[in-house]
Every structure is written in structure tokens, then in C-alpha cells.
Structure 1
Amino acid sequence: MSLQKAKEKLPGFMLLLLLTCTAPLAIGATTPATRNVCNTPACITLAHMLHNYHDPSVDPCDNFHQFACGREHEHETEDIYTKKTKTINNIMKRFLKKNETSRSKSENAMRTLYKACKTLEKNSTASRNKALQDIFQDIQSIGAWPVVDDKWDESKFDLNDFLVNLVRLGRKNFGLFQMARYVNVRNFAIGPEAAWRHNVDLGKTISEILKANSVQTNNKKLLDDLAEYVNLEKALSQHKFNTVQPGYIFSERSDFVSSVNFSRLVLEMMSPDKRTLFPEVYQIMYLTNTSLFFGKNNNLETIIRNTSKRALANYLIFKFIDTSIADLTYGSPSAFCEQKVINFLPRAALRAFYRNFISKENRKKITKLTEATQVQLLKIIGATDWMSIKSKKIAMDRVSSMNMVIGYPDYFDPPGKLDGLFEHLNLSSSDTYYTVVRKINRFMREQEMDYYTGEVPYYPLFPGLMTNAMYNANDNNLMIFAPFFDDPFFDSSFPDYANIAFTSNTLAHEMGHTFSPHLMDIMTGTTEVWLTPKETEEYEKRVKCLEDQYTEYDDPEYGRIAKSCIV
């Protein structure tokens, strides 16, 4: 009987009873079962992206990559990491443009740098002229400059005084050599210059500085001085920088460059109230094993002795000018100022990004995923059948004791902890961009020294807003940078397999560095002996097998392009 006929024959209350009884059945029959589907905005965005990327015309059994990602190029004009960098720049730009006063000294330093940079962008001619005047003033603090001093007396030239005065201006790369941390270890190494600029407009820049300061000079002598500078640059650039060169403990080889008082330079880099800690730095100072120091001919000591004092004085000042101008011009115009803030104040930028824009739920989830990866690595080591129990224990102890820094170091988390480090950085709203950068450079030298002495556990120049993870061998730290577990790579609402797909390869790769049998073959030239010769041979055989899998792989789209050396 139809419902319509029932209406005609049944009294009203009977009809109501019937509807009351049958309605739940009808509803139950049409309500679908609950599905385990993620409906968050992040999941919907990811599903939309993956749907657009896949190529349904391809059989996944024939070419799974083409099936899953074959149409990505139709929707993306740049890789996901480049897009993330631009997103970070935009986020930081909005943050820095806020016209508000903060109680945080690190945030105020960031905004002062940003505003000075924007002033340079808006009024580049006037700002550049003021910078040229500031540069000339700093040159005068370095020492007498032969180019502008007709009565320059070489007997009054002291190489180490010049170098110390450059350190006071925040320099650690002098052209003759540089002083820096080499690779991911806690050392303070002295080596060749890492990057040579060869500024073809240096003569023009010097002329601009002289003009901006109403200084007259002998043009012929200037050209001769520049020619000497170029020749000295060529001689020094023959000595190559290499981050993995074994080195020598400085205290055992300091006599190889007797003309330079390196210890005095290091002391000058330290904050005045921390100089009693100099012995802590001295014991981790190295001379890199390069021809610059240990070559038979044309080494640094020979170059210094064979070069006139006038040429040395000019060289150091010309180099200072070259790098100072680089600070004013380097960078992409579209993101120049925000990128400068990120580069010059990485700790402060990371603090602002992490506290204001990172999901704490994401941090919890990436922590669990990282810990799970660590457990799996321990299982893999434990299950090996070619290592002795002793070797397994050494490897597993290192993996299990690894310290994980997820997004932001807990050391800096207490209120005021990071800002306390900025007490010695005094920036003024009236400072030009050049002056702000110079003050920050000096500040960062002191921060580096605090790291070398062990006062602060994390290197101050780590690029904290990099979309990556990094293993620090010396400190046994795995650092997972905040952008790595942020949109679009990671979200706490993603199914586990999605987060694993985006991040696990990088996590496993970096964590795998703890297992390297040559972990300490970085600066001292000594290898950490924990694998027996037989085990090492088997390890190398397995590494070669893995390399060959990639080297011999014939990619259907790109061909044989993988190189075993970068696998």
C-alpha cells in the first residue's frame, strides 16, 4: 500500500504513529557509513594538488612516477622549495612591516635593519652617498691609507694593527685568509678565502668614495695601486678553499705564518667581558692543510714578506671597500630587505617565524615521526649480520644519544633568553643601512665566539629558515628547521603516510650520517675507529652497490643522469 493511500484510510493519529516509526528506517537506509577521510583545509588542498598532478592515461604498473606526478609541470612553474622560500619572505615581510614597538630586543633589531634597508631602496642615491661617507670614516679607523695620504710612511705600517681594526668592524674574511667554522663541527679554522669577488668596478667605486668625501688623489698612483691589488688577488686565489681538508691544531703549527698574530685577532672578536675564555677557543683553532700555509712556494708567509707594505695596506682597504659595497648591492630586488634580515639575523628571524607562524601540533607530530625513524634505524643496525656486537653498540649508542632540535632550540625558549644575547647590539633608527650591517657583523663575531667557547650551544649563523634538516656531527645534533614541517610539506591533520612521503627521505638521510664510519675525518685527518678493517670493507662494498643502483638507473624521462658521488 502506498503512503498516499494510507493517508486516505488511516486516522490522523495513526498516520502520525506510522511516520514516527518509519522515518528512522528511511533515514537509516539513506545515511552513508562514516568514512575515515581527512576534510581539513590542508588535506583538501593536498588532495586537489595531487589530483592535478597525476596522469590517468598511464598505467601505474608501467610507470608509477608518471602516473602520480606526470602533469605536475602543467601546474607548477617552479619547484616547491623555491615557492616555500618566497612564502617565507612574504610572511617575514608582513611581520617586519608592522608599525609597532616590541618589548623584544631581537624583534626591534630586525625592524631597524628592515627599515634602514627600505630607506636604501626608496632613496638609493642619497643613501648610497651617505654610505660612501660612512665607509670612508671606517677606512680611517683601519689605518693610514696610502691612496689618500701623500705622506704615507711605510715604517709606521703594522699588518696586525690593520687586521685587528678590521675585526673591530666585524670582519673575519681579509682576502689574505679567512677565519671561520669549517663544515658542521665546533672548530675555528683559518684557511684560504672561500669566495673571490673580483669586482671589475672597484676603481670606479673608490673614485665615488673619494668624491663623496671631497678627497683628491693622484689618479696614476691609484691605477698603479689597483694593478698591484689585482696581482695580489691572483696570487692568493691560487690557494683553494676546501671544506673537508684535514687540518692541524693551531698551537702546533702557528709558526708557519709568523707575520700574523692570529691569537690577537681571535681575542678581538670576543666580547670584552668574555676574553678570559680565550683558552676554550684556542684549543679548537686549526690551520687548514692547504698550500696557503704549507706550500713550498708562494705560501702566505712568503707573500707577506715579498709584498710591499704599501701594497698590503692598500690590499686590505680595497678588500674592505669591495665587501662593503657588496653588502649594499647583493640580493634579489623583489625580496631584498626581508631576505637580508633573515641572512643577517637568523636566530631572531627564526624566533619570530616559529612563535608567530608555526603550528605547535605540527611540531609534536614531526617529533613523533623523527623518533619513529630513529627507532627504525636502531633496528636496522641491530639486525645487521656483518658487524660485531661491539661495533653495533658504538653505532647504536651514537644514534640513540642524538639530540634533536625540532624547529627552535629549547635553549632559547624561556622568555628573554634570546633577547639577552642582543644586549650588546645597539642600533639606532638614524643609522644608515651600511652602519646597521656593520654593527650586526661585529655583533655576530661576538656571538660566534660565544659558540666556540661553549657559552651558547648552537651556531649563530645556522640558516634557521631553510626548508631542510641538518645533522651536526660534532655535537651529534639533528636540526629540523621550522619551514620543513610547515605547509605545504607537513600538517598535523595529514594522514601519516602523507607526512612520511614528504619528509622521511630527508630525515632518514640526515640521521644516517650518525652511522658514517668516517665521522671524524673532517678537520684533524684522523678517522674514528669503530669498524674493523673487515667490517669497513663490507660497508664500502654495500655503499658501492647502492651507488650503482642509482648510477645505472635509466630514468624513462631524464635518462642516466644520477652520479654516484652525490647519492
Structure 2
Amino acid sequence: MSKIEIISKNSFVTVIIILAVPIIVILPLVLLLEAGKIGGEVSENCSNHSTSSASPKPKPMCLTPECITLVHQLLNFQDPSVDPCENFYQAACGKYNEHNVIDGSRTAQKQQIVKRLIRDFLHKNQSSTSKSENSMKLLYEKCKEAKTIKVLGNQNLLQEIFMNIQKIGSWPVLDENWDGKKFNLNEMLLSLIRLGVSNFGFFEIIISSDAFVEIKPARNFPTRENLSDIISKVFLGNGFQPNITAIENDLREYENLQRELKSLERLIQTTPNRSLVNYLIFNYLKSVMLEYKRLPEEQCEGVVIDFLPRASTRVFVQNFLDKENRKYVAGMIEDVKMGFIDMIQESTWLNEESKKVAVQKVKNIKSMIGYPDFFEPPGTLDRSFKDLNIEQTDSYHTIVRKIQKFTNEQCMEFVASEIPLDPRQPILHANAFYQNTNFLAILAPVLDDPIFDTTFPRYVNLAVIGNVLAHEIGHAFDHTGINYDDAGQQRIWLTPEDSEEYGKRLRCLLRQHDEYDDPDFGRNLNGSKTLHEISADRFGVEAAWRTFKKLDLSNESEIVGFQNFNIDQLYFRTAALIWCRQRDTTDLQYALQREHPTNNFRVNGIYANMPQFAETFNCPLGSPMNPKKKCDLF
């Protein structure tokens, strides 16, 4: 073959490539735009009651990766065979399980993404001068090591546990000369605090949302399971022969004491000192067992996030979050507040004085968006870590105890207003919360795709994160929040007549929830547990809708595949996405203890109360999504 022939053939290939590349690039876009027509037709055919409205002139199209992902979710999660007026949750989310492998909703998926991002950061072998980052990496390393050991067969760990027991105080089963008259309960409790303990079995120390120290009955009393085994192992691992009979007798006293803890003061005065000592030490041993029992199931990045939430949030914010998102959401909060104010002022039953207090409460809500401003100045968080001294030679158990002690000390600084955020608050979660101090927190993972993105059209962001914001503000007026004023002070500000009417409206929602036929649990749900959540939902969807209807949509970009779709229907469809999840296989008894209603109810049960939903989808009166009896709050 001649040189000329080779060049000619190569030139021919080059020409083909040059011609093919634009086709390869343009073809998917053409198909996607064409899919817009199809998507519009499919979406319109989801319901016999839908209406479409053509745009008077072409609008910009959102073609960012985030918007394309949204199109995928809207088109693929839906079940077009279901009439939205019969079962809107199924119509919007019916095929969600065909496209997702993670149990739970999109927020659960986001939480898994956050964990992976933190894990990737921790795996990097980059040196750091940040004490908080180095603490995270060391905890992660020791957690991975701890996963490989057998707790009851590790000599070093058993000796470490024994040394901590000696720090707590003299143990009767080991001290033949133990004298109950020398026992001092306060000294033993202080020794436990130095080990980082806050749950003492008798009671636990809790920091309330309004920065008060509360002493409450201990939650999750430990059981006797495996205690006899670990006690024997600790003895043998430290050169002592266990007295099985004495240990069993002490364990029986321990169980009896658990059952009698309802009257704490009388109990402490009448219980033998030996039993009190054993109870505190056994409770410590049980906490050690639980500490290691969670490791096989728990990912170590999750352990780091749980134990060091502020440091983990700082890493996420600095490496994975666009800080401009905070400004955007700050504006949305103000818009949603106005939606609430409109709703309050248009109430047909609230007294004018009650309206004034309610409006002032909305106006005075303080907020934290993503993370506290406390995090902004370089080195600020690291300076707060100056008292946490963990070493490479420390075991996982020692590091956890040091972190717990450090966290307890930080809690006291929070109470003294020396730091602005409760160090125990799990702030690196795809979540938001409202506290009765009239404080709203939107956590950093929520300020990110798929829950929020600055490239989404405003009506999309309002449908998703706007409803999240509105729900949390709704807690300001749930059956607990209604008893706090704009300054976060507990005060009854509704008139007696208003209180009576408010109670009637809450009971309407409660009955509706208890009579709801949930596809996973039937008519077995307990509204008394979820009332604060379903009332916040009801307030929230109303306020978010009002905010949406005020938007100027004339210059908003459109979503591919939904150009000809009714914008009000698209709003509800998008809002429902956050609640899509696989079938809930939770045990009924556990489900009855949850504070949140099922995702199915949060769509069907709540939207069925909205006349605006029925009007949007032209649902016949008396259909499941347009019942004759509706529950309204304000």
C-alpha cells in the first residue's frame, strides 16, 4: 500500500469523524426536545381530568444535568395508568421502586450520598493542619480497626474497660473489703461524667433546644443481655476469677432496680449501696457493648458523622457545597413567610389579636441556612477543638470516650451561650427542623440536588425545598408550637374561643389520619403520635401553594418534556417526588411509634384537603382526592 493511499484513507476517516461528531452531540438533544412533546402527551394522559395550556411564546429550556435528572424522575417515577384523582401518590410515585435500590425517599438517598462524600474525603491521604479534620480521620481509622476485633476476646480492650471501671469507683464483686458506708453517689456520678457518660441508667442529662440543662428519666434502659458474659470476660482478661453466684445475684438486683426507677428519689434512699454501685457499673458495661454492637452494621463514615457532626459539616460545606445556595434559600424563606402571613390574615376564625401575634411570630423567626455563620471565619471551629486530644496510640474505645467527654463539655458551653450550636445536634443530615425558640434550621445537605438546585426553575425549587421550609415553619403553629410566642417564650396567646376552634380543627385532621386506609398498614395508624407532623404538613402545603401562586412565571425556564404541561399540575407532581419511596415493610408495632406519618398519607391524605389540588386536576367532588369533608387549620 502506497503512502498516498494511506493518507487518503486516513483523510476519509477524518472527514467521517468531523461529520459524525456534531451528529452525535446534536442527536441526543434533538431526541430530548422531541421527547418533550412525547413527555407532554404522556403527562397529559396521566389523568382524564387534566388540562393543558400552551405557552404564548417560546421560553428558555432548562438543560442542566440537574434538570435532565428531574425530567427522568418525573417521567419514570410516575404510573400513567393511575388517575391522580383516585390515588395521586401512586400516579406520581408508582414506579419509583423500578428505578431505585436504596430504601426510603430521595432524602434517604441524599443521606447515603453525603456519607459517601465524607468517606471519600476520609480516604484521601492528604495531610491537614486542621485539628477537626485530623480528629475525623483518626476516628475513622480506629473505627475500621475496631470492626475487625472480637470485643470479648480482645485482651487490650478488656484491660481498658477494667481500668475505666476502677476510675468509676470500687466494685463490690472485686473488693472483698468493700464498705457500703463509704459509698458516695455524687463522686461516682462525677467519675462517670469524666468518662463522657451522660446516660447513667437512673437518669440522663439532656440539653434542650432552648439551651437548658434537663435531667430526665433515662431512655432505652439497658437489658441484661450478654452482661454476665462480658463481666466474666473482664474478670478473666485482668487475672481475676469471677464469682458467678455473686455476679448472678447482683444482676438480679440490677433488673429489679430497673423496674423500680419510676420513683427515683425514694428508690435511691431505700436501695442498698451495693446495688447502686453495681447498677452504675453494669450500665457502663452495657454502653460499651452497645458501642461495639453497632459497628458491624454501621459504616464508619456514619460513625464519624454521628460523633463529630460539626466537623463533618464543615468538611461537606468546604468541599461539596456551593455557598451561593444559602443566599437563594434565604430569599425563599422570606417568600414562604409571606405565604404564611397571607394565610393567617385571611383566616376566617382567628381573632384579630391572635392574628397579630401569629404574624409577628412568623416575622421574627430566626434561621440557620446550611450551617451557622460561626463556621465562616477560618480556624474558628478548630479552635473549639483545642480541648479534644486524641492520639494515634488510642484505641477506638478510648477515642469514643474522649469525644463523648469533649461533647459534654461543649454542651455546657452551648448552655452558657459561648458557642451557637448544640454540639450533639445531627446537622449533617438531609433534613430541616424548627425549634420552639422560634428558630428554623435548614441543614446543608438539603441545599443540594436532588432537593434543591439553583439551575431549577423557581417553581420547581418552591415545590420541593419550598414545601420543606413551609412544613418546618408550620411547626410554629402545631399543637406544641402554638403555645410559644414570637420570642420563643411559652405563653398561651390564643383567645379561649380561638383555642377551642383550633382544637376542633386539629381533631378533624386527627380523625382523618386514623381513618386513613394506608396501603402498607391499613387503618391501623396512630394520629396522636404524628399530630404535630401532619398539622405542620397541612399548614405547610397551604403556605407553599400561596407562595407559588405569587410567582411571576413569564420568564421562568421550562422543563424538557413538560413544555405543554399545566404548570399547576407540574407543581404538585414535583412536590410529590420528595415523598416517593419503596413499599414500607416496617413492622406495624414499630411504625405505630414513629412521629412521622407514612409518605403515602403525606401526599394523598394532605393534598386531599386542598381545594386547589382538586381544582388543578378537575377531580370530581366525592373522589378520593376531593372528599366532601376536608380539614383546614387557619
- Partner residue of 1:68? 92
Q: Find 2:107's aligned residue among 74, 77, 81.
A: 81
Q: CA deviation at 1:42?
A: 0.8
- Partner residue of 1:244? none
- Partner residue of 2:174? 148
- Partner residue of 1:323? 287
Is 1:207 aligned to 2:232, yes or no?
Answer: yes
Q: CA deviation at 1:389?
A: 3.4
- Partner residue of 2:370? 407
- Which deviates the most, 313-322 or 551-560? 551-560
Q: CA deviation at 1:549?
A: 4.8
Contact 1:471 1:513 (C-alpha < 8 Å) held by counterparts: yes
> Per the alignment, in what secondary structure is the counterpart of residue 191 of structure 1?
strand
Q: Find 1:308's aligned residue among 260, 272, 279.
A: 272
- Partner residue of 2:622? none
Cα root mean square deviation, aligned: 2.6
Q: Find 1:194's aligned residue among 202, 207, 219.
A: 219
Q: CA deviation at 1:551?
A: 4.7
| Residues 163/137 of structure 1: CA separation in 2 closer, same or farther (3 Å cut) | same
- Which deviates the most, 124-133 or 491-500? 124-133
- Partner residue of 1:273? none
Identity of aligned residues (%): 41
2:296 and 2:464 map into 1 onto residues whose CA distance is: 28
| Residues 114/99 of structure 1: CA separation in 2 closer, same or farther (3 Å cut) | same
Report how many residues are paired.
471
Q: Find 2:160's aligned residue among 134, 139, 144.
A: 134
- Which deviates the most, 152-161 or 438-447? 152-161
| Residues 515/222 of structure 1: CA separation in 2 closer, same or farther (3 Å cut) | closer
Following superposition of structure 1 onto structure 2, how do residues 134-533 of structure 1 map, counting pairs within 5 Å?
A: 134-182=160-208, 184-236=209-261, 239=262, 299-331=263-295, 333=297, 335-474=298-437, 476-516=438-478, 518-519=480-481, 528-533=491-496
Q: CA deviation at 1:564?
A: 3.9
Q: CA deviation at 1:64?
A: 4.2
- Partner residue of 2:74? 50
Question: Could you list the per-position Cα deviations for residues 387-429 of structure 1 after superposition, in whole angstroms to 9, with x for gaps in the alignment?
Answer: 3433222222221111110110112221111111111100101
Q: CA deviation at 1:363?
A: 2.7
Contact 1:119 1:127 (C-alpha < 8 Å) held by counterparts: no
- Partner residue of 2:569? none
- Which deviates the most, 299-308 or 171-180? 299-308
Q: Given residue 267 of structure 2, which amino acid in structure 1 is its aligned partner? A: I
| Residues 550/177 of structure 1: CA separation in 2 closer, same or farther (3 Å cut) | closer
- Which deviates the most, 458-467 or 511-520? 511-520
1:162 and 1:57 map into 2 onto residues whose CA distance is: 66
Question: Could you list the per-position Cα deviations for residues 234-260 of structure 1 after superposition, in whole angstroms to 9, with x for gaps in the alignment?
Answer: 222xx3xxxxxxxxxxxxxxxxxxxxx
| Residues 481/199 of structure 1: CA separation in 2 closer, same or farther (3 Å cut) | farther
2:243 and 2:480 map into 1 onto residues whose CA distance is: 57
Contact 1:518 1:528 (C-alpha < 8 Å) held by counterparts: no
> Per the alignment, in what secondary structure is the counterpart of residue 174 of structure 2?
coil
Q: CA deviation at 1:563?
A: 4.9
| Residues 75/519 of structure 1: CA separation in 2 closer, same or farther (3 Å cut) | closer
Is 1:96 aligned to 2:122, yes or no?
Answer: yes
Q: Given residue 98 of structure 2, which amino acid in structure 1 is its aligned partner? A: E
Q: Given residue 438 of structure 1, which amino acid in structure 2 is its aligned partner? A: R
| Residues 357/37 of structure 1: CA separation in 2 closer, same or farther (3 Å cut) | same
Q: CA deviation at 1:381?
A: 1.7
| Residues 208/563 of structure 1: CA separation in 2 closer, same or farther (3 Å cut) | closer
2:521 and 2:276 map into 1 onto residues whose CA distance is: 51
Q: CA deviation at 1:99?
A: 1.7
Query: What is the TM-score of this pair, normalised by structure 2?
Result: 0.70
Q: CA deviation at 1:96?
A: 1.2
| Residues 128/44 of structure 1: CA separation in 2 closer, same or farther (3 Å cut) | farther
Contact 2:152 2:230 (C-alpha < 8 Å) held by counterparts: no
Structure with the greater relative contact order (CA < 8 A, sep ≥ 6): 1 or 2?
2
1:502 and 1:420 map into 2 onto residues whose CA distance is: 37
| Residues 165/125 of structure 1: CA separation in 2 closer, same or farther (3 Å cut) | closer
Q: CA deviation at 1:106?
A: 1.0
2:466 and 2:525 map into 1 onto residues whose CA distance is: 21
Q: Given residue 479 of structure 1, which amino acid in structure 2 is its aligned partner? A: A
Question: Could you list the per-position Cα deviations for residues 52-103 of structure 1 after superposition, in whole angstroms to 9, with x for gaps in the alignment?
Answer: 1122334455554433322222223422233222222211111112222212
Q: CA deviation at 1:347?
A: 0.9
Question: Could you list the per-position Cα deviations for residues 152-180 of structure 1 after superposition, in whole angstroms to 9, with x for gaps in the alignment?
Answer: 12222111111111111111211111111
1:552 and 1:125 map into 2 onto residues whose CA distance is: 48
| Residues 548/228 of structure 1: CA separation in 2 closer, same or farther (3 Å cut) | closer
Q: Find 1:37's aligned residue among 57, 61, 69.
A: 61
Is 1:120 aligned to 2:173, yes or no?
Answer: no
Q: CA deviation at 1:365?
A: 2.6
1:126 and 1:542 map into 2 onto residues whose CA distance is: 56
Q: Given residue 199 of structure 2, which amino acid in structure 1 is its aligned partner? A: N
Contact 2:147 2:296 (C-alpha < 8 Å) held by counterparts: no
1:547 and 1:520 map into 2 onto residues whose CA distance is: 17
Q: CA deviation at 1:336?
A: 2.6
| Residues 372/386 of structure 1: CA separation in 2 closer, same or farther (3 Å cut) | same
Q: Can you give the 5+ residue segments of structure 2 that lack an aligned partner in the other structure? A: 1-29, 35-56, 535-634
1:521 and 1:227 map into 2 onto residues whose CA distance is: 44
Contact 1:517 1:536 (C-alpha < 8 Å) held by counterparts: no
2:93 and 2:463 map into 1 onto residues whose CA distance is: 13
Q: Given residue 215 of structure 1, which amino acid in structure 2 is its aligned partner? A: F
Q: CA deviation at 1:558?
A: 7.4
* Higher Cα radius of gyration: 1
- Which deviates the most, 31-40 or 493-502? 31-40
1:86 and 1:234 map into 2 onto residues whose CA distance is: 39
Q: CA deviation at 1:321?
A: 1.1
Q: CA deviation at 1:148?
A: 1.1
- Partner residue of 2:499? 536
Question: Could you list the per-position Cα deviations for residues 310-332 of structure 1 after superposition, in whole angstroms to 9, with x for gaps in the alignment?
Answer: 12111111111111222122245
- Which deviates the most, 422-431 or 307-316? 307-316
2:112 and 2:278 map into 1 onto residues whose CA distance is: 40
- Partner residue of 1:247? none
Contact 1:127 1:432 (C-alpha < 8 Å) held by counterparts: no
2:376 and 2:153 map into 1 onto residues whose CA distance is: 37
Q: Given residue 147 of structure 1, which amino acid in structure 2 is its aligned partner? A: V
1:229 and 1:563 map into 2 onto residues whose CA distance is: 34
Contact 2:158 2:237 (C-alpha < 8 Å) held by counterparts: yes
2:69 and 2:452 map into 1 onto residues whose CA distance is: 12
Q: CA deviation at 1:443?
A: 0.3
> Per the alignment, in what secondary structure is the counterpart of residue 122 of structure 1?
coil
1:127 and 1:222 map into 2 onto residues whose CA distance is: 20
